[in-house]
Each structure stands twice: as structure tokens, then as C-alpha cells.
Amino acid sequence: MVSVIQQFEKRVSFWVERRIPPVNQVELSHREIFILPTRWGVLFLGLIGLLILTGINYQNSMILAVGFFLFSILLLNIVSAYRNISGLYIKFHHSEPCFAGDLGGLEFVVAAREKNHSSIEIGWVPESFNTVDIEKGQSVRFIIELPCPERGRYRPGRMLITSVFPMGLIRAWSWQDLKAEIIVYPKPLESQMVWGQAEGDQQSGKKAMIPGQEDFEGLRSYVPGESLNRVAWKKYAQSGEFYSKEFAQPLTDPEWIDFSAYSVGDTEIRLAMMCHQVLAMNAKRQLYGVRLPGKVIAPDLSELHKNQCLSALALYPEG
């Protein structure tokens, strides 16, 4: 019995993949939309059948008229439900990386080009559905949050776009794979390793300097457009010429967060410890680089560098 169900699900999945292939954006049409009655729709249809059978049995034209009237309402619901969801434009826009175990956000854009769309539900499970109403010519951005249990590329798969407008008797829906994904960083795990200064700093009596905001370094010719806060006004009063103040900060040798430096054998624990160390180095504004098997990220201090390092840890060994 289980194998029969699995075979059926596999065939349905294969049919859906062929009929609705993954895309980055889609405008819903008859090819992507499916329609079935809801629970209330089934009861409503049963009531219609009962009325028609009763009217035929008792040859009562009034009961038949009521039955056919209700049937016409059901047909109007089918047409309205299809029109409400057809022509809807939806696109996966952006995702924010998160750490394993946290909620990741997926941002989508939904637009109405030719008509209004009411009570459209979009999401993966009932808890993550977003309900949107869109007027003609407008677009709406919204974020769906999903739990991301493991590091790597999290792809939630096909999302459900559905509506039971206007009376809840008919459900129109579509399964769409918009290639949505979230980069999930390892969950930071504090290590007991001691990260000291590099050997070059211990041997050198004087540290090199790089441009910064900490120590006054000297004066240089003023460049038009620079902030007036940097102008050496005392020097200007003495000589009548503009000079800019230069500041610097010590350049320490870069620290290397090395995959092979950790004594634990478990890869996931190593990556979690490296993730914690990246965040710690970034918070201290310490120049650092990352070494992974087959990949080296040169030392830097920027926010882009931090994200690049965390992404490399998240996607290891994929790259």
C-alpha cells in the first residue's frame, strides 16, 4: 500500500515538474491554475444534488428551481475563483542570510496588471501564509519567514498560491517553484582556542600604520571636496594655505581562521567554531582571513568580507 502511494506521489510530482517548470518569475494563466471545491463546496454540491433529486422525485418545480439557482451560484464561484488568481504576477526578489536554527526571510514581489486580486494566500504551510489584496496597477512586496535548521543552501521548493474568494466554496491554487533559496550560515559555537598576535608583531618594535580615525599622523595638501572638519585651521591662519589632517591606526598582522587548526574531527563543529571566530574578529575590527580546504579568502576588514567568509563556511564544500 505504501509503495502504491509513493508511486502515485512520484508520478504527480513528475507531472507537475513538466507542466510547471521552475522559473524566477511567473504570471499565472490557465496552464498553472488548478480548481477544486473546498469542504464547504462539497457540502454545497451535495445540497444541490439532494434538492434536484427531491424535486424530480416529487415533481416539484419550486425545489428544482432552487437547486438550479444554487448550481448557478456554484458555477459563478468557479469563474470568480479562477479570475481572481489568473493574471497574478509573482517574482522571488531577495533573501537575507541567517544562522542555522533561526528564521530566514524570503522577499517576494506580487503585482496586479489588469485587474484587482483579493484574499490571495501565498506561502508553504498555513503558519507562513501571507494574505495580500492587490489593486490593479499596484505591486506589493512581502517577506515570508521560514525555519532554517541546517547550514547550506536552503531551498523550500514549490510554494502554494491559493484563494477561496469570493464565498469559500471553490479553491483556486497554483504550485510554483520560483527558485527561492536562503544561504544558511553555521550556528556560531565558541571555541577554546587561543588566538594571539602573529609572530611578526611580536618581533617588530614598531607597527605599520594604515589610514584610519585613531591617531594623528600629519598634514597633507587639501583636496577640494574634502570635509571641512579635516582642514587644519591653525595652519591656515599661519600660512594662508589649506592643509588636511591625516589620521592612522596600527596595522596588525592578519589572523588566519584555519579549518585545519581545530583539533575536533567533526566538520560541522569546526565550521561552527570558525563562524564564531569570524564574528568575533569582525566585532574587534581585527584584520583576518579564512582558510578552508581548497579555498583561501584573503584578509580584510569590510562587511562584505565578513559575509563572504560566512557564505564560504555555509556552502562548504560546495564553494
Write down the pLDDT at residue 78.
Answer: 94
Give CA–CA dist 123/101, Å, rounded. Answer: 20
The residue ranking higher by pLDDT, 202 or 27, is 27
> What pLDDT digit, counting tens, does each position of 148-174 carry?
989 999 999 899 999 999 899 999 999
Residue 300 scores a pLDDT above 90 = no
What mean pLDDT comes out for the span 198-226? 52
Question: What mean pLDDT comes out for the span 1-21?
Answer: 79
pTM: 0.70
Interacting residues of 109 by C-beta distance below 8 A, sequence separation 6+: 90, 91, 93, 139, 140, 141
- Whether 146 and 103 have beta carbons less than 8 Å apart is answered as yes
Is there a contact between 89 and 110 (Cβ–Cβ < 8 Å)? Answer: yes
Residues in the chain: 319
**pLDDT category of residue 244 using cuts at 50, 70 and 90:** confident
HSE at residue 153, side-chain half, CA atoms within 13 A, is: 10
pLDDT at 231 over 80: no
Of 2-6, 132-136, 261-265, which gets the smallest average pLDDT?
Answer: 2-6
Percent of all residues in the chain with a pLDDT value above 70, rounded to a whole number: 81
How far apart CA 256 and CA 290 sit, in angstroms, is 6
Residue 207 vs residue 162, higher pLDDT: 162
* Other Cβ atoms within 10 Å of 149 Cβ, number: 10
Query: Are the beta carbons of 124 and 146 closer than 8 angstroms?
Result: yes
- The set of cell numbers assigned to 61 is 418545480
Inform me whether the pLDDT recorded for 294 exceeds 70: yes
At residue 51, does pLDDT exceed 90? yes
> In the chain, what are the domains?
17-185 (2.60.40.10), 186-202+252-319 (no CATH), 208-250 (no CATH)
For 138-154, write each residue's pLDDT tens digit: 999 989 999 998 999 99
Q: How does pLDDT run across 97-132, given as a tens digit for each residue?
A: 999 999 999 999 999 988 999 999 999 877 688 889
List, in sequence order, every residue forming a beta bridge with 111; answer none if it has no partner: 89, 139
- Specify the amino acid at residue 65: A
